[in-house]
Amino acid sequence: MSPSERARVEAFAKEIRKLTIGMIAELGVGHIGGAMSIADLLAVLYDKRLKAYPEDARAADRDRLVLSKGHAGPALYAALAAKGFFPAEWLSTLNKGGTRLPSHCDRNKTPGIDMTTGSLGQGLSAACGIAMALRLDSNPATVYAIIGDGESDEGQNWEAAMFAAQKRLSSIVAFTDYNRAQIDGTTDEIIGLGGLAEKWAAFGWNALEIDGHDVGAIDAAIETAAAVGDRPTMIVLHTVKGKGCSFCEGQVGSHNMNVTKEMAAEAVAALGA
């Protein structure tokens, strides 16, 4: 990634963070921690890697994205709005009655959302199904999937992991947001995940682990995944919960928290221009 490209993607990540903080503050409460920790990934995907068409969100040749940790929807909505999938004014309707931006992703409500998620552990199976269907259609699109570390406690992920390896679903490029915090405590306190990349490798995946806030590293990892033709790829992103948000960075309790407009203004100012 060139310095200028890096600057552009980092600026987009900052925009995603600001919009996300703003929309959650508008409501006063939301899943901010796990939204912040995937902002850099979403910036790389939507600013560079993911083939998408804002004006034709269901185009056959688009890349697909399943945000299995559906509660991080607000960060994805920020990226989609910034790229023109829907009017930016929608962002202030997050979670309000009748909104098209619900807390958890809904493929029927929001342009650019490929799969309805929210009941944790289900997204990777859907991604497998999408990849199987694309294979039948000789469609070369990439299927991106993002799962959480707490979500990795769900056994269905590992069913999907075995399936994707068995079927050699190399079109799947998945990410684990390894921010080491889940609702009731750190992952080490609740269900320690240990060497997550080793687990995925043992399940037959091409597994990498990188700094999940280094947009250059994310971009390079996706690049290498594209060259692997016989296995799905899991990129374990070492991240910080609440990253880039002054009032919650590194806080285990930031899964779902109250956010006032004053807190948001301070956090947005701290992010800088």
Partner 1 sequence: MEALKEMRAVYAETLVRLGAADDRIVVLEADLMKATGTGPFAKAYPERTVNVGVAEANMVGIAAGMSAEGKIPFAATFACFASRRAYDQFFVSGNYARLNVKLVGTDPGVCAAFNGGTHMPFEDLALMRAVPGLVIVEPSDPVSLAAFVQKAAERDGCVYLRLQRKAAPALYKEGETFDFGKAKLLRAGSPDGKADAVIVALGALMAGEALKAADLLAAEGKKIAVIDALSLKPLDEELILEWAAKTGRVVTCENHQKRGALGSAVAEAIAESGVPCKFARVGVDDEFGEVGTQDWLADRFRLTAPHIVAAIKGL
* Minimum distance, C-beta of residue 266 to partner 1, in the bound complex (Å): 37
* Minimum distance, C-beta of residue 55 to partner 1, in the bound complex (Å): 20
Question: Considering only residues 179-238, where is the footprint of partner 1 by CB under 8 A?
Answer: none
Q: Which is nearer to partner 1, 25 or 67 (CB)?
A: 67
Q: Residue 67's beta-bridge partner residues?
A: 146
* Minimum distance, C-beta of residue 203 to partner 1, in the bound complex (Å): 13
Contacts of 15 (CB under 8 A, 6+ apart): 78, 82
For 169-257, where are the alpha helices, taking DSSP H only?
A: 187-190, 196-202, 215-226
Nearest Cα to 161, choosing from 231, 228, 223, 70? 231
Q: Residue 186 and residue 70: Cα distance in Å, rounded? A: 20
Asked if 114 contacts 66 with a C-beta cutoff of 8 angstroms, the reply is yes
Pick from 2, 4, 108, 138 the residue near partner 1 by CB under 8 A.
108
Binding map of partner 1 across residues 113-152, x = CB under 8 A, - = no contact: -xxx-xx--x-xxxxxxxxxxx-xx---------------
The site for partner 1, by CB under 8 A, has a size of 30
Q: Residue 89 and residue 229: Cα distance in Å, rounded? A: 41
Question: Considering only residues 53-82, where is the footprint of partner 1 by CB under 8 A?
Answer: 66
Binding map of partner 1 across residues 160-189, x = CB under 8 A, - = no contact: x-xx--x-----------------------
Contacts of 230 (CB under 8 A, 6+ apart): 168, 170
Q: Which residues bind partner 1 (CB under 8 A)?
A: 66, 106-108, 114-116, 118-119, 122, 124-134, 136-137, 155-156, 159-160, 162-163, 166
